[in-house]
Every structure is written in C-alpha cells, then in structure tokens.
Amino acid sequence: MMRKIIATKAAPAAIGPYSQANQFGNLIFTSGQIPLDPETGAIVGTTIEEQTEQVLKNVRAVLEAAGSSMEKVLKTTVFIKNMDDFAAMNAVYAKHFKEGAYPSRSAVEVSRLPKDVLVEIETVAYL
C-alpha cells in the first residue's frame, strides 16, 4: 500500500509542516481544520456556530478532494476552546452528519488553538 497526499484549494492551505489529508489504502486521515476562508486565509465568524460551520465546510472540501464525503466519516475529534460552547457546536455539527449514522467522536476542551479560534475538527473517513 502506498500513502497519497491530499491537497485542495477548496480548503485552507496547510499553515505548517503537515498535509491537509493523507490517504492510506481506503482510509482518509484529515488534519485538523480551523475556520479559515480558503481564499483569504481569514478567520470566518466570531461565534462557535459560525466557526463550526466553516470548519465543517473545510473538512467536507478536503474529504471530497480525496474522493470521500461526510457520509463516510468514521471518527471525528473535536477540539473546543470552551466546553460551555459544546451544545451550540453540537447543534451545527449534527446538521453535517446523517442521523442514525453519526461517526464516533471525541471532544476535548483545550486551552488554545491555532490563530486563537474556538474550534478545530479532524476526521478519519473511508473511500
């Protein structure tokens, strides 16, 4: 099996020494996405809802570039700056996945995220 690097202009470019995603076999491992506009690199939104929406748009773009989709996400990890925002983040998150077929998930409160955003999400999906 060979590893394949996934890159798309439809999602923010990597801002460090990492790839947007890696494919290994039929699995896709996305790097954590933050709420950046892919064209300008600017942070989108000031609320947890706005930022979660942009993060998931970016995740979707990377998965689609790999030939996968949100419906094929097996696992997510959500890094959230303030667990008090969990319910609001969760309401937006739930709209992006099919009820009854939600991916496995971990959610962790962290003290700080890149560019001081409120949320970051990474995924594992299949082709």
Q: Which pLDDT belongs to residue 119? A: 98
Q: Which regions of the chain are under pLDDT 70?
A: none
- Are 70 and 96 in contact by the 8 Å Cβ rule? The answer is yes
Domain ranges in the chain? 3-126
DSSP code for 11: S
Task: Check residue 9 and report its DSSP letter.
Answer: T
> How many other CB atoms sit within 10 Å of the CB of residue 62?
24
Among 44, 120, 117, residue whose Cα is nearest residue 79: 120
Q: What is the per-residue pLDDT for 79?
A: 98
The four Cα atoms 42, 96, 109, 14 give a dihedral, to 10 degrees, of: -40
**Please, are residues 11 and 65 in contact by the beta-carbon 8 Å criterion?**
yes
Tell the CATH topology of 3-126: 60s Ribosomal Protein L30; Chain: A; (3.30.1330)
Tell me what pLDDT residue 1 has. 74
Predicted pLDDT of residue 15: 80
pTM of the model: 0.97
